[in-house]
Each structure stands twice: as structure tokens, then as C-alpha cells.
Structure 1
Amino acid sequence: MPVLVNEKIDSLLETTSRSFYPTLKYLPKKTRGQIGLLYLLARVADTIADSKVGETEVLLDHLSAYNDVVQGRAADLPDFEPLAEVQTNEHEAELLRNVPLVIDGLKHYQDDDQKRMLECLEVIVSGQILDLERFGPANEGGGISALPTDEELDDYTFRVAGCVGVFWTKMSLAHLMKLPPDEEKLFMERGVRFGKALQMINILRDIPEDLRFGRCYIPEAALKSIGLEPEALMDDTNLEIFRPLYDRYLDLTNEHLEEATAYIQMIPDTQFRLKASCMLPVLVGQRTVTLLREGNILDSDERIKVTRDEMKTYAKKLLRALLIPGGVRRLLEKNKDAP
């Protein structure tokens, strides 16, 4: 049975997401489709922005035009076929060839849910536009550009992931659970930290790949404080100098993950599926942080990630934990990274 609007959209979702799709299937049916569709809408934007071939101005134009059509501000999509043809990932190419179908999926949901999806997508695209404006010219010139400060890093993680925590929380409160107003505010704040945690993991895991395309998300001011320039991170012999700063960002990620754990604890035990869907990315995130703390994160040949077998093991563990009183808290505590 499709989890979204139809089998084609479901197939696009499954083939373009290795880590998110397993989480999606745990979600309650009342929110599964909307969250899955937002993922696809955002993935289209991400595929445009991350295209490794194409002038920055062209990608910016395509990204803005796509968002304008989704938001209802324009009617005509750009021709994505040239961009699809240069994708190295065949599934992302197929996604670009089916953009109208993905956008059409919005009409299957009520107005309030459409509004929540569009609000979140607007913020995500704003982050991707900033990304292209910051890093595109450097990439075209063969150089590397870095985020200036920790404040810009925090803003970026909110735009591309923290806002998804807001969306997820709004959907949960609208369809699945109720909290007192003061607890709603805390739940929302923790949802933002949840999203930021997952994006920080992406950033800290993908340093070598990002550098190859002129992007350095480790702030320039922080690098200068230890006597390094962004280009120095391309040489893994600088790992010893970089490691204390890197570990500081891992510690920040752990702080975000602690808030994500607290977020899960606020979900009523009756919301079995919602808890499960939140637990899996936290468990995988905790494990990834541990691997990053141990590995050579500047070596482009050492790809650090949780294996599919580990993912399956976590799926089994979380289901057992949900059935045992106190099991959720114990599993998350046992699994977390220990600096």
C-alpha cells in the first residue's frame, strides 16, 4: 500500500532516501503522507541546489522558479530535463523528471496542512538560496568559501532542518496529541533542536565531500582561532590540529540530541508510532556521532556512516524498548555518545 498519494510518488520517496524512508513507515497514517510529501518537495529543491554541473545563477533561477510554482506565486516550471541529464544519481534525475507530479500531491491534503508544508518549504529554500549565493562563486572559481561565524552556522541549520522540527511538531499537535500551552512552546523548541542535531551530523560527516565543491560549513572564525584556513581541511594530516575544534561541534551536536531525547519523552506513550519514528533517527544520530569521534573525518576515502545492518538492529531494539516500561529512556541513554 502506498504511504503517500500514489505508487509513483511513494517510489520516488523510497529511492531518494536511504535514511528517511524507514522512519516514515513508522509514522501514524494521519501525518505520514504530509511529512513524506514535504520531504520530496524539499528533496527536489535540494537536488537543484546541489547539482554539481551548472552556473550558480542558473541554479538560483531554477530554485526560485520552482519554489514560486509550489507556493502558488507562478504557474510555469523551468525545464528540468537538462539538469536531470547531468545528475550522477539516477533516482534524483527521475525525481527532477517528475516535479509536476510531486507538486500535484499537495492538492490531496487539507488547506491547513498545505499551509504548514509550504511554510516549511519556504524556509528550507531560503537556506538553499543562501548556500548557492555563499558557495557557488567559490566553486566556479575552484576555491573554497566558509561560513563566517557560529551564528551563521546555527542560522543555516535552522533554515534547512530546524524548521522541519517545527513542521513535524505542528503536524503532531494538529493531528496526534495535545499539550498545555506552556509545554507546547517547549515541545516546539526541542523540535527545532532535534532538526538541528540531524543537520549538524550531516555537516560534520560530509566535510571532505563539501570541500571538493567549494563549501566549508566549519566557520572561518573558528578555524582561524586554531590557525587554520578552510583549505587546510583538505589535508588530513591537519586532523590533530582540527580535532579539538571538531569535537567541540560534536559536543554541540550531542547537546541538540539530548534535547531530541527530551522531545521524545514528551510524546504520550499512547503515540507508539510517533515515538518510534522519532527514536530511529536519534539512535542512528547517536551512533554516527560516536563513529565520527573515532574516525579520520578529513580522509575522503574513509566514509563514515551507519550500516544497513545496524539500521535493522536499531529498528528491532526500538520496538522492544517501546513495549517495556522505561525502555525508551534506557535505550537512548545507553546508546548515546560518550565524549
Structure 2
Amino acid sequence: MTMLQQTSRTFYIPISRLEAELKEAVTSGYLCMRAIDEIEDHEHLDDAIKIDLLRGIQHCLTLERPIEETEQFLTPHKAVLPEVSFRLPEWAGLSPSGAEEIVLRYTAKMAGEMADWVEHKWAICTEADLDRYTYSVAGMVGEMLSELWLWFDGSTSDRQKAIAFGRGLQAVNILRNRKEDLERGVDFFPDGWEFKDMIKYTRRNLKEADAYIAELKKGPAVEFCKIPLALAKATVKLIAAGGNKLTRDAVLKIVGKIGG
């Protein structure tokens, strides 16, 4: 939970409120995917090394002893990896029986797709490219969570709307990090798009997230999803008005309105 708090202000609060077994599964899945994302997004690693690491992790996670194989693979790279990435085997091992297969399968899938994006220099020319990217980095998280809800208490959900939920959250990040991304030579806006176009894309996906939550049965999945969605909506509203990042007080106020 300490690592989770260090790596995600948005997800720490809703994850910390989950029931014990589900908390372990979601924490495991989130940190494994965060480990992948930190490799893909690393400012000081050569692209060739990123690709080798990501494809190596993808392969190890499909083997008979995936956690042990991944640990052996990552050990020689400890000095160059952020802590959250190096400890990926530890995060994978947090998953309760039954949830581990879900977490490992989606982590392997994300590692493979992130390697593809690095290899192709994050080339996003069309909205279809943007859809593929936001799926790879965030829509897939929503898809994984849908499977975890089903595993935990039988909650069924619309996978496409779950993916849209993830896409919407990632689009908020793209808007918020626009300046920094351009400074490092990466442009996630499709050709010809302006801020208003990305805001429209973001709001369309967040509207699908509203529908996703409305269809979930009452329980931990609903309570989990409300907080990141509310924070995303508030951030989009702030960005549209010329701001960038919610203050800590604003975050606490939003969380307080939802669940205290």
C-alpha cells in the first residue's frame, strides 16, 4: 500500500477501501501494470532496452513458473529500473488464488503492447491510433477490473464500457501532461487535433464510464469506480477552464462528497 500511495493518488483511496481479498487482487493488478508503464515511460532507458525488457517480461509471465522466471529475468536490471518495476514479481505474488491468472494474463498482454508502442515510436496519427494506445495503457486496466469483479462476487459488467472508462482516465492524463509530453518529443494528439478535440474525446469516454457504473450491481465495484470517475470529470472541467491539476484540498473534497 505504501508503493501504491507513492505511485497513484487517484487509485490509492478507492483501493484502500476495498474488502481484504479484493484489495489484494486489485493492488496486485494495478502495481503490476504500473511496473510495465514505468518501463515504457522511462526517460533514461534506450528504446531498444525498453523493448527487450517488456518482451522479456511478457514471455516470462507465460511460463510455468511465471513469478520466479520474471524475478530471475529482472534481477540483472535492478540498477536501471524504478523500484515499482523491479518489484513486479512481488506485486504479482500478492494476488489471491483465482485472481493471479487474471492479473498475470493482462500484465503480459500490456507488456507486449507497450513494447509495440515503443517500437513504433508512439506514432498516433488518427483517432483509431489513439483508441489503440489508450486501450493498451488504460482500457486494458478497466477490462482486467471487470474480470476481477466477476471473480470476486459474480458482478457482471459491460467490457466495452469498462474499456471506455480506462480510455477516459488516460485521456485526462494526456490532457494534463500535454506540455511535458511535447517537451520529451511525444505527441499523443492525433494529427490536426487541438485541446478541444481531446476534451471532446475524453468526455465521450467518461460518459460511457457513467453508463458502466450505472449498470453495476451495488457493491465494491461501484464504490471503487465512483472516486476515479469523479476526479477525472473535475480535472477535465479544470483543464477546459485553463487549469491543470486538482489541489489536494479539491481531491479530498470530492472524495468526501462520495464516501467520506
CA distance in 1, matches of 2:105, 2:87: 22
Task: Tell me the CA shift for residue 262 of structure 1.
Answer: 1.4
Unpaired runs of 5+ residues, structure 2, are none
Partner of 2:87: 98
CA distance in 2, matches of 1:21, 1:253: 22
Secondary structure of the 2:9 match is coil
Q: Which amino acid aligns with 2:93?
A: D
Instruction: Indicate if the aligned counterparts of 2:59 and 2:108 stay in contact, CA closer than 8 A.
Output: no
Secondary structure of the 1:254 match is helix
Confirm whether residue 308 of structure 1 aligns to residue 233 of structure 2.
Answer: no
1:9-30 superposed Cα distances (whole Å, 9 cap, x missing partner): x322222222211121122334
Q: Which structure has the greater CA radius of gyration?
A: 1
Q: Which one of the candidate residues 114, 123, 134 is aligned to 2:100?
A: 114
Higher mean C-alpha displacement, 278-287 vs 75-84: 75-84
Confirm whether residue 151 of structure 1 aligns to residue 128 of structure 2.
Answer: yes
Q: Which amino acid aligns with 2:250?
A: E
1:304-336 superposed Cα distances (whole Å, 9 cap, x missing partner): 11121111111110127xxxxxxxxxxxxxxxx
1:216-252 superposed Cα distances (whole Å, 9 cap, x missing partner): 01112x35xxxxxxxxxxxxxxxxxxxxx32122112
Distance 1:167 1:99, change over 3 A: closer
Distance 1:216 1:165, change over 3 A: same
TM-score, structure 2 as length reference: 0.88
Task: Tell me the CA shift for residue 72 of structure 1.
Answer: 2.4
CA distance in 1, matches of 2:226, 2:77: 36
Q: Which amino acid aligns with 2:135?
A: F
Instruction: Indicate if the aligned counterparts of 1:70 and 1:103 stay in contact, CA closer than 8 A.
Output: no
Confirm whether residue 46 of structure 1 aligns to residue 37 of structure 2.
Answer: yes
Task: Tell me the CA shift for residue 276 of structure 1.
Answer: 2.1
CA distance in 2, matches of 1:153, 1:97: 29
Task: Tell me the CA shift for residue 178 of structure 1.
Answer: 4.2
Distance 1:101 1:118, change over 3 A: closer
Task: Tell me the CA shift for residue 146 of structure 1.
Answer: 4.3
CA distance in 1, matches of 2:155, 2:80: 44
Confirm whether residue 294 of structure 1 aligns to residue 234 of structure 2.
Answer: no
Task: Calculate percent identity across the aligned residue pairs.
Answer: 24
Unpaired runs of 5+ residues, structure 1, are 1-9, 85-92, 136-144, 224-244, 297-303, 321-339
1:162-198 superposed Cα distances (whole Å, 9 cap, x missing partner): 111111112112222445xxxx4xx222111111110
Partner of 1:334: none
How many positions carry a matched residue from both structures? 254
Partner of 2:26: 35
Q: Which amino acid aligns with 2:84?
A: L
Instruction: Indicate if the aligned counterparts of 1:198 and 1:285 stay in contact, CA closer than 8 A.
Output: yes
| Runs ≥4 residues deviating over 6 A | none
Instruction: Indicate if the aligned counterparts of 1:51 and 1:83 stay in contact, CA closer than 8 A.
Output: no
Instruction: Indicate if the aligned counterparts of 1:264 and 1:275 stay in contact, CA closer than 8 A.
Output: yes
Distance 1:98 1:289, change over 3 A: same
Q: Which amino acid aligns with 2:4?
A: L
Instruction: Indicate if the aligned counterparts of 2:199 and 2:240 stay in contact, CA closer than 8 A.
Output: yes
User: Larger relative CO (CA 8 A, sep 6+): 1 or 2?
Assistant: 2
Task: Tell me the CA shift for residue 154 of structure 1.
Answer: 0.5
Instruction: Indicate if the aligned counterparts of 2:138 and 2:166 stay in contact, CA closer than 8 A.
Output: yes
Partner of 1:280: 227
Secondary structure of the 1:295 match is coil
1:108-153 superposed Cα distances (whole Å, 9 cap, x missing partner): x22x422211222133223321221132xxxxxxxxx741211111
CA distance in 1, matches of 2:51, 2:216: 39
Partner of 2:216: 267
Partner of 2:164: 193
Secondary structure of the 2:61 match is helix
Secondary structure of the 1:19 match is helix
CA distance in 1, matches of 2:227, 2:55: 33
